[in-house]
Amino acid sequence: MSARKEVILSGIRPTGRLHYGNYFGAIHHFLRLQQSDATCFYFIADYHALTTITEKTEIYRQTLDMLRTYVACGLDPAKSIVYRQSDLPSTAELSLLLGMITNIGHLERGTTYKDKMIKIQDDPKIDGNPLSYGLLGYPVLMAADILIVKADVVPVGDDQRQHVEMACDIAEKFNHRFGCEALHRPRAVGRDALRLPGLDGSAKMGKSDNNTLDLLDDPKTVLTKIKGVVTSTDPLPLDTDSNDPDQVIPKLPGGLSVLYRLLNLVAPEEVYLDFLQQYRDGGKFYGNLKKAVAEHVSKFNEPIIEKFNDPANNDDFIMDFLRENAKKVTPVALDTVEACREAMGIGRSLYRG
């Protein structure tokens, strides 16, 4: 019998444009894993985009554009199974089943839910109580995404670590409660997962925080955004001799940590090391640092923007592979849902055959 191939799964919400946190926290790993022997499922989480809406939004259009960006970054729909979450409605069915064994207290303690709750409460544009059942159940839907394809590895940034842990817990609880092996437990997210700071110096670059550097930003926008990063503190002594970015960067004050992290991600190593030495030497070099970061970021963006705008990367091309790939992921998903139905005792669906 041949060994089971590793299964990789990850998704991104279609709201806003892809930013550097999305790229280096997730897509960068999608591309690496796409070259391996594993079966890769990468989707656009359009159901998840519905959890925070208060009015009709162009999620369909945003999804197509996000998929064009996926392709522009190098995701190959012939190598990876790239699909839209809502084209796999059995995910919603699995989410419903998993919801039956998920404790509300557990969901209320979720960090993303708590953060959103605070943001919503402080947002003067939002009227009444906008906290929905869908928002509370966000991690259950995410667990369904992961478990439905029997994923082993879920490449995500550090901010999604807790959600993947919840998926692991739900799978274990389900199998234990119903005495079955219907759900495959994925591996936990590694401690080295990235959390890219925001351009405003905050802990996380995030779509809703207006602090992102985007993959489709043109050179002028990049320069304006990088110039706007606050670097008011003069160089301070670093209590480490290490050049390892994971050791040094967290010790840098506010905006400098994001500038050095970006340099480390997109520039050749010698450029990062040179500017690190300048920091250690002290002096006035922040203007040059910003110029270098902006130049390397724009160089990184250039081929992505070009491929995004390639006439062949159009809606027809996207729709064609979405149809094909939805056909590939559906049987895998139905197998899991049917196994869960059986395990819980309602029996298999009578219409699916």
What string marks each residue from 179 to 198 as x (binds ligand TYM by CB under 6 A) or -? ---------------xxx--
Choosing from 173, 207, 251, 307, the catalytic residue is: 207
Nearer to ligand TYM, 77 or 206 (CB): 206
Q: Using CB under 6 A, which of the segments 6-14, 99-107, 265-273, 280-288 binds ligand TYM?
A: 6-14
Query: According to CB under 6 A, which residues from 104 to 163 bind ligand TYM?
Result: 142, 145-146, 154, 156-157, 159-160, 163
If binding is defined by CB under 6 A, does position 12 make contact with ligand TYM? yes
Cα atoms found within 13 Å of the Cα of residue 132, Cβ hemisphere only: 11
Among 26, 73, 94, 199, contact with ligand TYM (rule: CB under 6 A): 26
Contact (CB, 8 A) for 174 and 183? yes
Among 8, 25, 30, 308, contact with ligand TYM (rule: CB under 6 A): 25
Cα(7)–Cα(309) distance, rounded to whole angstroms?
A: 31
Cα atoms found within 13 Å of the Cα of residue 30, Cβ hemisphere only: 27
Nearer to ligand TYM, 206 or 255 (CB): 206
Number of C-beta neighbours around residue 116 at 10 A: 19
Query: According to CB under 6 A, which residues from 195 to 214 bind ligand TYM?
Result: 195-196, 204-206
Nearer to ligand TYM, 50 or 273 (CB): 50
Tokens, residue 210:
């207006």
Contact (CB, 8 A) for 150 and 336? yes
Cα(54)–Cα(56) distance, rounded to whole angstroms?
A: 7
313: Cβ contacts below 8 Å, ≥ 6 apart: 68, 71, 72, 307
Q: How many residues line the site for ligand TYM (CB under 6 A)?
A: 26
Among 11, 99, 186, 255, contact with ligand TYM (rule: CB under 6 A): 11
Nearer to ligand TYM, 132 or 320 (CB): 132
Query: Is 116 in the active site?
Result: yes
- CA dist list (Å): 267 to 11, 151, 250, 331: 27, 33, 19, 43
Cα(160)–Cα(7) distance, rounded to whole angstroms?
A: 18
- Annotate 104-143 with DSSP letters as a single string: HHHHHT-HHHHHHHHHHHH-TT--S----HHHHTHHHHHH
Q: How far is the CB of 316 from ligand TYM (least distance, A)?
A: 25
Q: How far is the CB of 203 from ligand TYM (least distance, A)?
A: 8
Q: Using CB under 6 A, which of the segments 18-26, 115-123, 298-306, 329-337 binds ligand TYM?
A: 18-26
Choosing from 5, 56, 79, 116, the catalytic residue is: 116
Q: How far is the CB of 241 from ligand TYM (least distance, A)?
A: 27
Query: According to CB under 6 A, which residues from 308 to 337 bind ligand TYM?
Result: none
What string marks each residue from 28 to 57 as x (binds ligand TYM by CB under 6 A) or -? -----------------x--x---------
Tell me how far apart the 2 most distant CA atoms of the chain are, in Å: 74
> Any bridge partners for residue 41, and if so which?
9, 81
Nearer to ligand TYM, 214 or 318 (CB): 214
Q: How far is the CB of 122 from ligand TYM (least distance, A)?
A: 20
Secondary structure of 275-295 in HEC code, one letter for each residue: HHHHHHHCCCCHHHHHHHHHH
Cα(253)–Cα(274) distance, rounded to whole angstroms?
A: 18
- Given CA atoms 215, 219, 224, 229 in this order, what sign does their dihedral have? positive
Residues designated catalytic? 116, 204, 207
Interacting residue ranges for ligand TYM, rule: CB under 6 A: 9-13, 21-22, 25-26, 45, 48, 142, 145-146, 154, 156-157, 159-160, 163, 194-196, 204-206
